[in-house]
Amino acid sequence: MSPHPRPRTAVIGLGAMGLPMARRLAGELPVSVYDIAADRRAGLTTMGARDAASPAEAVRDADVVVLAVRDQAQVEGALFGENGAAEALRPGTAVILTSTVGPEAARSTAARLAVRGVLTVDAPVSGGPVRAGNGDLLIVVGAEEVALKAARPVLDLLASTLTVVGPRPGDGQAMKAVNQLLAGVHIAAAAEAIALARGLGLDPGAVVDSLKHGAAGSFMFADRGPRMVQTYDDGPEPEVKSRLDIFVKDMGIVTGIAKDAHVPVPLAAAAEQLYLLGERAGLGARDDSSVVTVLSPKSPEGVGR
């Protein structure tokens, strides 16, 4: 049993994943929250969360800190920037790094925190906002036993599948990179399929409905396919559940560490270029399903010919 069955928990970063995770935790634990957007913090106070004005204030009494920011630059700012959390963390506090930042960045962050006696749990998450709010995430963990024990009550509230990959920060990031390779390639393949269907004059919605449960289907085809189809409708754009520029970052991590390991990843490299083209086309802040428009523009010119 953990010595802290209801650990005082801070959540830093209330974006697409951090906000539903904070809601989930606030229903079960004493929680303080910080985000640069004050309205996101305020929305959680009705659930009993404490609104903090800075990362340092959020973690001052915390036993466990959930760091749910976008990239390593934001990790650096939240922990070591002005009014950063590191200056207020007590020795023995466990910092759960849920962001996808790559193995070397996780190891570097853990080393800087260890100097202060702070524990690091490398625990990148997958599953999307809905599953985050339901405690149904896939979480892969790299952490020493003492750190994992301290963080376990929080992780168990967030994950339906928790896999301990290894004993070191960075081990979870390595597994997450493999996950993101598959996810990124599957989204790109779904986009190619729907682009081809449009080029052949097929109804892309019928294509998704027909193929998503067959041998050619995948989770990403079934999940992103309908949103790709919605992209071509006259109604509102698909809800942003996962920004396209997240896959620019994540596929860059995948191809970078693959190069360091001398492992060829030609499909991941091609997918990375597709996301970069999407970002260059101004789609970075839109849902990643919008990448289909790079291959098959919304204009009907040339479609079905």
**Phi, psi values for residue 203, rounded to 5°:** -75, 110
> Which bin fits 128, alpha (ψ -120 to 50), beta or left (φ > 0)?
left
Q: Is 249 a catalytic residue?
A: no
Interacting residues of 273 by C-beta distance below 8 A, sequence separation 6+: none
Where is 140: in which H helix or E strand? Answer: strand 137-142
What pairs with residue 96 in β-bridges? 66, 121
Where is 157: in which H helix or E strand? Answer: helix 145-158
Buried b or exposed e, range 72-81, using 16+ CB within 10 angstroms:
bebbbbbbeb
Which DSSP letter does residue 128 get? -
Separation of first and last alpha carbons in the chain: 64
Of 149, 176, 249, 259, catalytic: 176
The three-state secondary structure class of 237 is coil
Spatial separation of the C-alpha atoms in residues 185 and 197, rounded to whole Å: 18
Interacting residues of 68 by C-beta distance below 8 A, sequence separation 6+: 11, 12, 13, 14, 15, 17, 18, 21, 22, 98, 99
Q: Where are the alpha helices (DSSP H) in 47-144?
A: 55-59, 72-80, 103-114, 129-133
The residues assigned a catalytic role are: 176
